[in-house]
Amino acid sequence: MHKLTLTALVIIATSATSGALAQDAAKGDPAAGKTSFNKCLACHSIGEGAKNKVGPELNGLDGRKSGTAPDYSYSDANKNSGITWNEAQFKEYIKDPKAKVPGTKMIFPGIKNEKEINDLWAYISQYDADGKVKAN
C-alpha cells in the first residue's frame, strides 16, 4: 500500500512539474528571445531609438495594426492584411510570413521551433511604442 501511495505521489508531482514547465515554455523567455532577435536585426530594430530599416521598427508591436509604423513603406499586402498584431497573430506569422501575408516584402523564411517563437514574442512584446520595456 505504501509503494502504491508513493508511486501515485511521484506521478502527481511529476505531472504538476511538467505542466508548470510547459506553461513557462509557452510564456517565453525574453532573454532567450533577445538572442533569437539577432536573426531579425538585419531588417528590424526595437528599443529606445529604434528606426525603420529594410523592415519597420517593432516597438509597440502588440496591439499595432499591420502596415502602420510611421515613415515605413509597406507592401499593399501588409497594409491591407487586416491584422492587428497580438501573440497569436505574431506566432502564426513568424512561422511562415509569406503564407500568412501573401505578397509581403518580408523575405524571412520563418521560425518553426515553438520555444524560440515563444521566446521571441516574449522579447518583442515587452516593448511599448516608445521603445521602453513595459512595467510588469
Q: What is the pLDDT of residues 89-131, one digit of tens each?
A: 999 999 999 999 999 999 999 999 999 999 999 999 999 999 9
Helix (H, G, I), strand (E, B) or coil at 133: strand
Residue range(s) defining the domain that contains residue 66? 29-124
Residue 132: inside a domain, yes or no?
no
Residue 133: inside a domain, yes or no?
no
- What does the DSSP 8-state code read for residue 37? G
Give tens-digit pLDDT for 30-81: 999 999 999 999 999 999 999 999 999 999 999 999 999 999 999 999 999 9
pLDDT for 6 beyond 70: no
pLDDT for the residue 25: 54
Task: For residue 45, count other CB atoms closer than 10 A to its CB.
Answer: 18
Maximal C-alpha separation, the chain: 71
CATH number at residue 49: 1.10.760.10
Residue 43: inside a domain, yes or no?
yes
Residue 7: inside a domain, yes or no?
no
pTM of the model: 0.81
Task: For residue 55, count other CB atoms closer than 10 A to its CB.
Answer: 19
- Distance in angstroms (rounded) separating the CA atoms of residues 23 and 41: 28
What is the total count of domains within the chain? 1
- Residue among 112, 92, 96, 116 nearest 104 (CA): 96
